[in-house]
Structure 1
């Protein structure tokens, strides 16, 4: 799995990050799993065509004791398996990494 990992985060800051993720409505059905909405304008052609059946699209963020891992696989919430499920393009990857970095920076957490 391709992913973006941020580690060596203090327990206090991890708690703040998880609380803010939950407040934003990103909490998934499992502990320490969050669904980060994927911007509709960044979807590829196939994902846009499948949006009604497979969307909305998201990336999965997993948190641990002192780390966060953003999986760089664009998933649809409507279906688990489809040809539209794919790894981020370089542009999509950069935008989502920037999103996570900004999210953490706005909490004034040094990383």
Structure 2
């Protein structure tokens, strides 16, 4: 699995992140797991064609005690196995890692 990992976060950092993610209603129904929506313009051709059947599309973020792990896999929220589930292309990886970095910066978290 390809991941973007941020380590060495404090308890206060984790609390700030989880509070923000919950306020944004991104919870995945399991403690510490969140769905980060993939912007429509970053969906590939297959994913765009599968939006109604398989979408919405998201990337999973797991928040642990002192770290966060974002999978670089675009998942279909309404389908477990499909050709539309694929690793994020470089432009989406850059966008999503930048998004995570911006979120931490907004919360005053230095990494």
Give TM-score scaled by structure 1 length. 0.98
The answer on 1:97 being equivalent to 2:94 is no
- Structure 2's unaligned 5+ residue stretches are none
Match of 1:24 in 2: 24
Match of 1:52 in 2: 52
CA-based RMSD: 0.6
Residue 82 of structure 1 aligns to a residue in which SS? coil
Residue 12 of structure 2 aligns to a residue in which SS? helix
CA distances 1:50-80 after superposition (whole Å, capped 9, x unpaired): 1110111000000111000000000011101
Q: 4+ runs of 1 displaced by more than 2 Å?
A: none
Match of 2:5 in 1: 5
Aligned residues: 111
CA distances 1:62-102 after superposition (whole Å, capped 9, x unpaired): 01110000000000111011000000001111111011111
Structure 1 distance, partners of 2:101, 2:24, is 16
Structure 2 distance, partners of 1:38, 1:2, is 16
Residue 69 of structure 2 aligns to a residue in which SS? strand
Structure 1 distance, partners of 2:104, 2:13, is 9
The answer on 1:86 being equivalent to 2:86 is yes
Residue 58 of structure 2 aligns to a residue in which SS? strand
